[in-house]
Amino acid sequence: MNTRIQNKEKKRLHIINSAATIFTEKGLYDVQMQDIADAAGIGIATLFRYFPKKELIIVAVACGVMSQFEEAFANIAKKPITAYEKIEELLHYFLTFTNEDSKQLIRFRECFESYASFRAEPLENIEHYQQVQRSMIAQLMFIIEQGQHDGSINAALDIKSTLFTIINCFGKFTAKLSLHESLAELPDDMTNKMQQQIMMELFLKSIKP
């Protein structure tokens, strides 16, 4: 890759990162192209050369966010451990959604999925986002197939359906708790962390051989 192309890609990534920050702070609907240009420190004409439409920036940010989740899945999937241990690590990974950096990613993803679902027409370039999602599913399928053969998952279960359900439910549960923690009205002896720990232990116990 020559220097010109490298510099162009570097600026594109700078725009995406700047947009991600401002989208998280203000939401997707209230941010204008001029806001993104200002946040990136570039002229509006330069911004339009890279992204002719705001929705293209939104999808690009969403792909970047989802790629971070996909990378975490891939790193766990390739470890030389049992399928059960990989599922355990995935659940522990979801517990990190409570830290501030992860909250920003979760907040954007929630906004993006709501934004995309209420549009009459599919977002332009949405196939790039879907491709990253498919890659995440492929990583999970790799773990599931391992669990069907290594004996670390209860063979009496429908392993595929069970593990997909556990990962999906626990991921959404921890994400919701991390985003709405300040709104939760819980007894003093019942924290979000305690709920997450209880659910994780129940899930893990249910899949043991």
pLDDT in tens, the chain (209 residues): 678 778 888 999 999 999 999 998 888 888 999 999 999 999 999 999 999 999 999 999 999 999 999 999 999 999 999 999 999 999 999 988 877 777 788 888 888 888 888 887 888 889 999 999 999 999 999 999 999 999 999 999 999 999 999 999 999 888 888 776 554 565 666 777 888 899 999 999 999 99
Chain-centroid distance of CA 15 in Å reads 20
Chain-centroid distance of CA 200 in Å reads 19
Q: Which fold has domain 55-207?
A: Tetracycline Repressor; domain 2 (1.10.357)
Kindly state the tokens that stand for 73.
Answer: 């899945």
Please tell me the predicted confidence (pLDDT) of residue 184: 55
Instruction: List where CATH 1.10.357.10 sits in the chain.
Output: 55-207
Q: Which fold has domain 1-52?
A: Arc Repressor Mutant, subunit A (1.10.10)
Please tell me the predicted confidence (pLDDT) of residue 191: 77
- How far, CA to CA in Å, does 19 sit from each of 28, 34, 35, 66, 177? 10, 11, 9, 15, 25
Please tell me the predicted confidence (pLDDT) of residue 180: 66
Q: Report the C-alpha gap between 86 and 83 in whole angstroms.
A: 5
